[in-house]
Amino acid sequence: MTVIKASLVKALRERTGAGMMECKKALVEVDGDIEAAIELMRKRGQAKAAKRAGQTAREGKVFIAVSPDSKQAYMVEVNCETDFVARDENFCLFVERLAQRGLESKAETVEKLLNLPDVATAGEQTLEAQRTALIAKVGENIQLRRVARLTSAGLIGTYCHGSRIGVMVSLDQPVPDIAKEIAMHVAAMNPQAVDADRVSPQLIEKEREIYLAQAKESGKPEAIVEKMVAGRIAKFIKEICLVEQIFVKDPDKTIKSLLHPHGAHVLDFVRFEVGEGVEKEIVDFAKEVQAQIKGQQ
């Protein structure tokens, strides 16, 4: 049987709001897979709304480079181990250099970007070599986790919330103020798709299974259950689609109505948050020391 660590139970409790024993039982049933445990608990009605993002595992910085005409933008997330290094000048300059080089080169992947020479430095040292040198300098592991590039015939709006959240929004019309407002909204509300047509069928099916399992517990006839599930799916799609969401700065408007007077549409958006989706390892230092002492006896 899989041994379930207390740190894993704690992480599941934080994400579901369920009791400790319910969390531990679910984790045992799925051999310690926290995402599978969340899905199982939601089907049982034990977790009404699990947080989408995992616990932040790393520190780091998100940075966006934008072309002078605002028709292209390139965003990077670079991770380090501590907030101290995330604020280090050398680290910040390296992150900005990565984003600028990505914008210039249109590199599509992390690997392609790191293998490029940094033309701003003498000798054209690669960005990967610079990363290795920076690790030696600051004494922490530094990783370029992901990159994204957007282009538009209209305009790219961007917003960074500090250095931890970055958003790029592509509009088909050059309305910079609206683009910036929508980018700020995306940072705050974290939509999952532009509109209903772009919601993943797999995501909808997964939610449908969860809602169906919950609705069957009510004991209502099958026809009623199907209507309940359809209604909840429609509500779910409305909640996660950017253009259907209530504008965070004005509850009387949706994003769609905000765009309408300008004849503009959202083509695409990308949102990065430092460390999202990566579980943080929780270390009990007291137990670690005790184990080490026992091992030396």
Mean pLDDT of 25-34: 91
Query: Are residues 166 and 111 located together in one domain of the fold?
Result: yes
Residues 239-253 have pLDDT tens digits of: 999 999 999 999 999
Q: What is the pLDDT of residue 118?
A: 80
Query: Per the domain annotation, does 107 fall within a domain?
Result: yes
Tell me: do 116 and 83 sit in the same domain: yes
Nearest to 71 by CA among 174, 146, 166, 161: 174
Q: What is the pLDDT of residues 154-188, one digit of tens each?
A: 999 999 999 999 999 999 999 999 999 999 999 99
Query: Across residues 218-234, what is the average pLDDT?
Result: 86
CATH number of residue 139's parent domain:
3.30.479.20
Q: Closest Cα to residue 51, out of 231, 274, 276?
A: 276
Q: Does 217 reside within a domain?
A: no
187 in the same domain as 69: yes
Domain annotation covers residue 80:
yes
Give a yes or no: residue 33 inside a domain: yes
What is the rounded CA–CA span in Å between residue 139 and residue 274?
20
Does the pLDDT of residue 75 top 80, yes or no? Answer: yes
Confidence of residue 285 (pLDDT cuts 50, 70, 90): very low
Look at residues 51, 74, 90 and tell me which one is the last residue of a structural domain: 51
Domain coverage including residue 164:
59-194+265-273
How many Cβ atoms sit within 10 Å of the Cβ of residue 247? 18
Are the C-beta atoms of 165 and 77 separated by less than 8 Å? no
Tell me, yes or no, whether 37 and 105 share the same domain: no
Are 127 and 269 in a shared domain?
A: yes
Supply φ then ψ for residue 61, to 5 degrees.
Answer: -150, 140
Question: Is residue 76 scored above 90 in pLDDT?
Answer: yes
Number of domains into which the chain is organized: 2
Residues 91 and 134 in one domain: yes
